[in-house]
Amino acid sequence: MRPALRRLFLLAIESDALAERTAQGWVTRCLHCRTRLHVASDGTPGGSASLEHVVPRAWFGKRAAEALAARVGGDADDARNLGVACARCNQDKGKGPDARGPADARALEVVSTLVDRRLQRWRPPLA
Ligand SMILES: [Zn+2]
């Protein structure tokens, strides 16, 4: 796995209030379904853990998503926009709301609710 991607996993987990350190690295809960997920100390995801961009990368720069993008710092790779999710939940979101786009009211609502959830789980990244 690319070091840049491992860095994003670490950014997501170090700023996740539910994430706890273990002897092997980290354990947290899927942002969607709360399944237990593991990430190694170097940022390598375990099992079905995947990196979730809460506001989809493709939505940045689109007028309909402007307010949402601003809530996560205006940058797709900002820690506030990153979460750990199980692969199945991540794929379902990608094929559903992410693909429908921010002009779709229901898609906008789903992503907005997920931004709320991510910000509720926010903590300043641990050193
Ligand atoms: Zn899940």
Per-residue pLDDT of the chain (127 residues; tens, 9 = 90+): 899 999 999 999 999 999 999 999 999 999 999 999 999 999 999 999 999 999 999 999 999 999 999 999 999 999 999 999 999 999 999 999 999 999 999 999 999 999 999 999 999 987 6
Alpha-carbon distance of 27 to 40, in angstroms, equals 9
CA of 125 to the centre of ligand 1 (A): 22
- Alpha-helical (H) ranges within 1-127 are 3-14, 66-71, 87-93, 99-100, 105-120
CA of 44 to the centre of ligand 1 (A): 18
CA of 36 to the centre of ligand 1 (A): 9
- Output the pTM of the full model: 0.95
